[in-house]
Amino acid sequence: MGGPYNIPRNYKGEGKILFIFSTKSFLYTGAGLIIGIIFYFLFSALALKTVGLIILIALAGLGFVIGTFKIPDNSNFKFTQKTGGEAIDQVIIRWIKFKRNKRKIYVYKEEER
């Protein structure tokens, strides 16, 4: 009587590329690959191609993780209490802005009426 029911999911404008990549994760993986290729050529010049290949794969994987996953919502750790459920790349960007502004955070709060 009943068939499969697809639960709608909010993709927030992210299309899928090659089934597992969203646009954002594809870009982060590509950036990791580019940096990994630089290390691969550096280690290849030192006759350490295997080490270079391992670093290349690790950086591409790290780029995929940063672009795809979110920080788990866990109340056991202070860090995850504050950032739980947010995308990893957004947390990293906010941390860079925090360091660049000499550890100052400006919060703009609208007044309640």
**Positions of E strands within the chain:** 16-17, 21-22
Going 26 to 14 to 107 to 80, the CA torsion angle's sign is negative
The predicted pLDDT at position 104 comes to 67
Strand 16-17 relative to strand 21-22, pairing? antiparallel
Between CA 39 and CA 7 the distance in angstroms is 43
Encode pLDDT of 55-78 as tens digits. Answer: 999 999 999 888 888 877 777 777
Q: Hey, how many other C-beta atoms are within 10 angstroms of the C-beta on 25?
A: 21
Domain range annotation of the chain:
14-69, 73-113
Place of tokens 């400006």: 106
Q: State pTM to two decimals.
A: 0.64
List the chain residues with pLDDT less than 50.
Answer: none
User: Are 69 and 85 spatial neighbours (Cβ–Cβ below 8 Å)?
Assistant: no
What integer pLDDT is reported at residue 59 of this predicted model?
A: 93
pLDDT of residue 95: 81
